[in-house]
Chains A and B, each alone.
Chain A
Amino acid sequence: MSTVRERSVPGSRLPYLLIAPAVLGMLYLLLYPLARAVLISLQDFRLRQLILGDADFVGLRNYRTLLGDPVFWEVVRRTFVFMAVCVVAVMVLSTLVALMTERLGRAARTVVLSSLVLVWAVPVVAATTVFQWLFHSEFGIVNETLTGLGFASYEGYPWFAHGGAAFGIVVVLIVWQSVPFAAITLYSALVTVPAELYESARMDGAGAARVFRSVTFPLIRPIFMLVLSLEVIWTFKAFVQIWVMTRGGPGEATTILPVYAVQTALAGQRYDLGSAASILTVLLMSGVLVLYFRQLFRQEGEQL
Chain B
Amino acid sequence: MSHPRSPLHRVLRRLPLNAAAVLTVVICLFPVYWMVTTAFKPSTDIQSYDPRLIPRAWTLDHFHEAVSADGFGLFWRNSILVTLSAVLLALLVALGAAYAVARMRWRGRRQFMLAVFVAQMAPWESLIIPIYIISRDTGMLDRLPTLTLVYFMITLPFTVVVLRGFIAGIPPELEEAAQVDGCTRAGAFRRVAFPLLAPGLMATSLFGFITAWNEFTYANFLIIKQQDSRTLPVWLSSFQSTFGTDWGATMAAATLFALPALIIFLALQRHVTAGLASGGVKG
- A-side interface residues toward B, CB under 8 Å? 2-5, 7-8, 10, 12, 14-19, 21-23, 25-26, 29-30, 32-34, 36-37, 40, 50, 96-97, 100-101, 103-104, 108, 111-134, 136, 138-139, 141, 144, 176-177, 180-181, 184-185, 188, 223, 226, 230, 233-234, 236-237, 239-240, 243-244, 258, 261-262, 265-266, 271, 274-275, 278-279, 281-282, 285, 289, 292-293, 296, 299, 304
Residue of A nearest to B152 (CB): A25
Q: Which of A4, A23, A32, A184 contacts B134 (CB 8 A)?
A: A32
Contact of A10 with B20 in the complex, beta carbons under 8 Å: no
Query: Lowest 8 A-B CB distances belong to which pairs?
Result: A121-B265, A8-B104, A115-B28, A18-B100, A18-B96, A278-B126, A15-B100, A29-B153
In whole Å, how far is B25's beta carbon from the nearest beta carbon of chain A? 5
Contact of A244 with B237 in the complex, beta carbons under 8 Å: yes
Q: List 9 A-B contacts (CB under 8 A).
A: A10-B105, A18-B104, A19-B100, A21-B96, A22-B116, A115-B25, A122-B258, A129-B250, A188-B277
Known: A14-B100, A266-B129. A116 touches B136 (CB 8 A): no
Residue of B nearest to A127 (CB): B31
Known: A3-B176, A121-B210, A233-B121. A141 touches B130 (CB 8 A): no
B residues 94-132 with Cβ under 8 Å of A? Answer: 94, 96-97, 99-101, 103-107, 109-110, 112-119, 121-123, 125-132
Contact of A271 with B125 in the complex, beta carbons under 8 Å: no
- Is B257 in contact with chain A by the CB < 8 A criterion? yes
Question: When chains A and B are docked, how far (Å) is the Cα of A126 from the Cα of B255?
Answer: 8
Contact of B125 with A237 in the complex, beta carbons under 8 Å: yes
Residue of A nearest to B107 (CB): A10
Contact of B121 with A292 in the complex, beta carbons under 8 Å: yes
Complex interface: chain B residues within 8 A of A37 (CB):
126-127, 129-130
Q: Which of A40, A130, A176, A262 contacts B221 (CB 8 A)?
A: A262
Residue of B nearest to A300 (CB): B278
Question: When chains A and B are docked, how far (Å) is the Cα of A292 from the Cα of B121?
Answer: 10
- Give 6 A-B pairs besides A144-B49, A240-B216 with Cβ atoms closer than 8 angstroms: A19-B97, A126-B254, A130-B251, A141-B51, A181-B282, A289-B118
- Is B139 in contact with chain A by the CB < 8 A criterion? no
- Is B214 in contact with chain A by the CB < 8 A criterion? yes
Residue of A nearest to B49 (CB): A144
Q: Which of A50, A126, A275 contacts B258 (CB 8 A)?
A: A126
Question: When chains A and B are docked, how far (Å) is the Cα of A132 from the Cα of B149?
Answer: 31
In whole Å, how far is A263's beta carbon from the nearest beta carbon of chain B? 11
Known: A271-B133, A296-B117. A18 touches B28 (CB 8 A): no
The interface-forming segment of B55-63, B64-72, B194-202, B267-275 is B267-275
Contact of A115 with B273 in the complex, beta carbons under 8 Å: no
In whole Å, how far is B55's beta carbon from the nearest beta carbon of chain A? 13
Known: A114-B266, A185-B277. A133 touches B38 (CB 8 A): yes
Residue of A nearest to B136 (CB): A50
Indicate the size class of the contact surface on chain B. Answer: 35 or more
Contact of A188 with B273 in the complex, beta carbons under 8 Å: yes
Contact of B20 with A100 in the complex, beta carbons under 8 Å: yes
Contact of B254 with A130 in the complex, beta carbons under 8 Å: yes
Contact of A134 with B34 in the complex, beta carbons under 8 Å: yes
Contact of A278 with B51 in the complex, beta carbons under 8 Å: no
Contact of B28 with A118 in the complex, beta carbons under 8 Å: yes
Contact of A176 with B27 in the complex, beta carbons under 8 Å: yes
Complex interface: chain B residues within 8 A of A236 (CB):
123, 125-126
Residue of B nearest to A36 (CB): B130
Contact of A144 with B277 in the complex, beta carbons under 8 Å: no
Complex interface: chain B residues within 8 A of A223 (CB):
278
Complex interface: chain B residues within 8 A of A29 (CB):
149-150, 152-153
Complex interface: chain B residues within 8 A of A32 (CB):
134
Question: When chains A and B are docked, how far (Å) is the Cα of A97 from the Cα of B26?
Answer: 13
Complex interface: chain A residues within 8 A of B255 (CB):
126
B residues 233-283 with Cβ under 8 Å of A? Answer: 233, 236-237, 239-240, 247, 250-251, 254-255, 257-258, 261-262, 264-266, 269, 272-274, 277-278, 280-283
Complex interface: chain B residues within 8 A of A50 (CB):
133, 136
Contact of A18 with B251 in the complex, beta carbons under 8 Å: no
Contact of B269 with A240 in the complex, beta carbons under 8 Å: no
Contact of B266 with A243 in the complex, beta carbons under 8 Å: no
- Is B227 in contact with chain A by the CB < 8 A criterion? no
Contact of B46 with A139 in the complex, beta carbons under 8 Å: yes
Q: Which of A97, A129, A293 contacts B254 (CB 8 A)?
A: A129
- Is B223 in contact with chain A by the CB < 8 A criterion? no
Most buried by B among A3, A17, A30, A296: A30
Complex interface: chain B residues within 8 A of A177 (CB):
283
Question: When chains A and B are docked, how far (Å) is the Cα of A114 from the Cα of B269?
Answer: 8
